[in-house]
Amino acid sequence: MCAFGADITRTSDGLQISAGPLHASDAPIDARNSGTTLRFLSGVASLLLGPTLLTGDASLRKRPMGPLLDALERLGAQAGSLGGDGRPPVKVQGVIRGGQASVPGFISSQFLSSLLIACPLAANPSEIRIVPPIRSEPYVSMTRRAMRAFGVEVDLTKNSVRIEGGQSYTPTDVDIPGDFSSAAFPLVAAAITDGDVTVEGLDADSPDGDTRIVDLLRSFGARVDTLPNRVRVRSGDLVGQTVDVGGTPDLFPVLAVLATQADGETRFVHGDHLHLKESDRIAATVSMLRALGGHAAPTADGCVVDGPQRLHGGFIDTRGDHRMLMAAAVAGLTASGPLDLSDPWCFQVSYPSFLDDMRALGALHAVVG
């Protein structure tokens, strides 16, 4: 955002952000491993005169961008993949005018969120059709909630959204709630280890789909207590079940670990978009569980896990995926031997204090090289 002309200052309790008119970035923007950054800032770039080049690490350069680029083009921007394959690096140049476009709902909610953020600033109205099936809908709700806080509304129906042009965002103060997708790791760790963990800073009223971790842990059989701003989890008699991960793909790897310690079969469904995350999370999760002695089989939209299983140590290829590494680390808490994890620092992408927090809980003794 600084490359686009924003002025961001760290304060004692957060960030202060101010900006006049933004401009295209003079240098390539490296989103590293963040699909959210790449896709949201592509929408921002479509509002600005002059080209912006956006790229990322090796994993991010494998992730699809074609549907978003096509939609931006239909709305009046110039947007394309440098390799011609619909993947990063991409070049985006404005300005979008509004109009009609469509995006698939089953690849990533980030495509739609990027358009929702950008289109109110176009001169004309926009109508975006969402091609079903629609996955990760709670993340779209999070986007709309953030936009509403800054004074912008959109008209969203089941399969389309209409956005009035010529709007503007009004500066405001916001509190950023804790992240349930990160909290899931220590909470699941408590459920499978006779532990007792409380995570603070969580807003139970958040539209974040990953708040489902609370109800899912309860339904598996863990003991869960919720108080304002905090969630406490203790172990219980875990029982397998069918879990729809269509709206909560980020929970899938650690829920699969939970399933290894539950009695009976757990079947994960509606996760076809998991193939297109930082790694193919279906293949990566099944491979990780099998490497530790778990019984897991892939399906087209998830996997089937049989439990309970006594896991053992071994080598895990995390595939550079932060959530795979953290899920594997949680699995290691029940393993009879040590785990050797590749790319051991990749958790910093989303949860920089993960290792310190787990050590503080007494749950992890790790040597990171």
- Local confidence band at 276 (pLDDT 50, 70, 90 cut-offs): confident
- What is the structure's pLDDT at 207? 73
CB 267 within 8 A of CB 301: no
Query: Is residue 1 situated within a structural domain?
Result: no
**Whether 138 and 257 share a structural domain:** no
Q: Is the pLDDT assigned to residue 193 strictly greater than 70?
A: yes
Q: Phi and psi for 295 in degrees, rounded to 5?
A: -105, 105
Compute how many other C-beta atoms are within 10 angstroms of the C-beta atom of residue 313. Answer: 15
Q: Is the pLDDT assigned to residue 367 strictly greater than 70?
A: no
- What is the structure's pLDDT at 204? 74
Query: Is residue 300 situated within a structural domain?
Result: yes
296 or 175: which carries more pLDDT confidence?
Answer: 296
Question: pLDDT tens digit string along 311-329?
Answer: 999 999 999 899 999 999 9
Of 112, 138, 163, the domain-final residue: 163
- What is the structure's pLDDT at 20? 87
Query: Is residue 175 situated within a structural domain?
Result: no
Round to whole Å and give the CA distance between 8 and 324. Answer: 32
- What is the structure's pLDDT at 368? 53
Round to whole Å and give the CA distance between 190 and 79. Answer: 46
- What is the structure's pLDDT at 33? 87
Q: Is the pLDDT assigned to residue 53 strictly greater than 60?
A: yes
Q: Is the pLDDT assigned to residue 287 strictly greater than 70?
A: yes
Q: Is the pLDDT assigned to residue 59 strictly greater than 90?
A: no
Query: Is residue 172 situated within a structural domain?
Result: no
- What is the structure's pLDDT at 209? 82
**Whether 37 and 125 share a structural domain:** yes
CB 351 within 8 A of CB 185: yes
**Whether 96 and 211 share a structural domain:** no
The tally of domains found in the chain comes to 2
**Whether 93 and 120 share a structural domain:** yes
- Local confidence band at 366 (pLDDT 50, 70, 90 cut-offs): low
Query: Is residue 320 situated within a structural domain?
Result: yes
**Whether 275 and 150 share a structural domain:** no
- What is the structure's pLDDT at 275? 86
**Whether 205 and 308 share a structural domain:** yes
- What is the structure's pLDDT at 364? 58
Q: Please, what is the average pLDDT of the chain?
A: 93
- What is the structure's pLDDT at 365? 58
Instruction: Write out the two tokens for 282.
Output: 């279906």
Q: What is the CATH number of the domain that holds 208?
A: 3.65.10.10
Of 109, 129, 163, the domain-final residue: 163
CB 185 within 8 A of CB 155: no
Residues 6+ apart with CB under 8 A from 291: 314, 315, 316
349 DSSP assignment: G
Query: Is residue 98 situated within a structural domain?
Result: yes
**Whether 138 and 18 share a structural domain:** yes
Output helix, strand, coil percentages for the chain, rounded to the nearest 5. Answer: 35, 25, 45
**Whether 227 and 355 share a structural domain:** yes
**Whether 153 and 231 share a structural domain:** no
Query: Is residue 209 situated within a structural domain?
Result: yes
Question: pLDDT tens digit string along 101-154?
Answer: 999 988 888 999 999 999 999 999 999 999 988 777 888 888 999 999 999 999
Question: pLDDT tens digit string along 153-164?
Answer: 999 888 899 999
Q: Which of 171-175, 204-208, 298-302 has the lowest mean pLDDT?
A: 204-208
**Whether 159 and 196 share a structural domain:** no
**Whether 344 and 204 share a structural domain:** yes
Query: Is residue 265 situated within a structural domain?
Result: yes
Catalytic residue among 208, 210, 250, 357: 250
**Whether 18 and 131 share a structural domain:** yes
Mean pLDDT of 44-55: 97
Q: Is the pLDDT assigned to residue 206 strictly greater than 80?
A: no
Of 129, 163, 197, the domain-final residue: 163
Q: What's the chain's length in residues?
A: 369
Is 250 considered catalytic here?
Answer: yes
Residue 184's domain spans which residues?
180-360
Q: State the sign of the Cα–Cα–Cα–Cα dihedral 81, 6, 178, 175.
A: negative
